[in-house]
Amino acid sequence: MQPTGPRTCSAPWGCADEVFTGLEGSWTLTRDIVGAARMTGTAVFRRLPSGLFAYREEARVQLENGRSHTGSQNYFYERAPGGFLVHFAEEPMRLFHAVAIAPQGDALVGTTTHLCIADTYDSRYVFRADGSFEVTHTVKGPRKDYVSRTVFTRLPPAT
């Protein structure tokens, strides 16, 4: 992962090196897997003593065929110069991808690619000026062919 060069900042996320810190907390998530399913639920980035964030999402999945079920996913996020790393929640941890962040208009954007055997995950993270962020995974290969788009909106702190 390469540093992004000069400090480039965008409200409310700050500079590329500060985006990681801004992830901490609770979020609503809405995910569209184009032509297959829609998910709604919550995601939490919880700081661990190591400085990593434990990410957990829980959502209700509504399939195009009308069936529904619940689902969850876990990752670890790690601060890195100019962005962050995303690891699968395995022991030992295994890297999913490294996200280097750069300005694009009034947003901060990170793009990355992960090869999973013969399937390629092209991912794009967009940190918006309204404080939300979006993650899009375009997956192509002999076993997979889909686009997953997730929008995260911060939940207010619990009182």
The Cα–Cα gap between 113 and 89 comes to 18
For residue 113, the tally of other CB atoms under 10 A from its CB is 11
- The DSSP result for 92-137, as a single string, is S-EEEEEEEEEEETTEEEEEEEEEETTEEEEEEEEE-TTS-EEEEE
Mean pLDDT in residue range 49-59: 97
Question: Domains of the chain by range and CATH?
Answer: 14-150 (2.40.128)
Do 53 and 74 touch, CB atoms closer than 8 A?
A: no
The Cα–Cα gap between 129 and 103 comes to 11
Do 110 and 102 touch, CB atoms closer than 8 A?
A: yes
* pLDDT the model gives residue 10: 82
pLDDT of residue 4 exceeding 50, the answer is: no
Question: Tens digits of per-residue pLDDT, 86-141?
Answer: 999 999 999 999 999 999 988 999 999 887 888 898 999 999 999 999 999 999 98
* pLDDT the model gives residue 97: 93
Question: Tens digits of per-residue pLDDT, 144-155?
Answer: 899 999 999 999
The Cα–Cα gap between 46 and 53 comes to 5
The Cα–Cα gap between 33 and 19 comes to 25
State the average pLDDT for the chain. Answer: 92
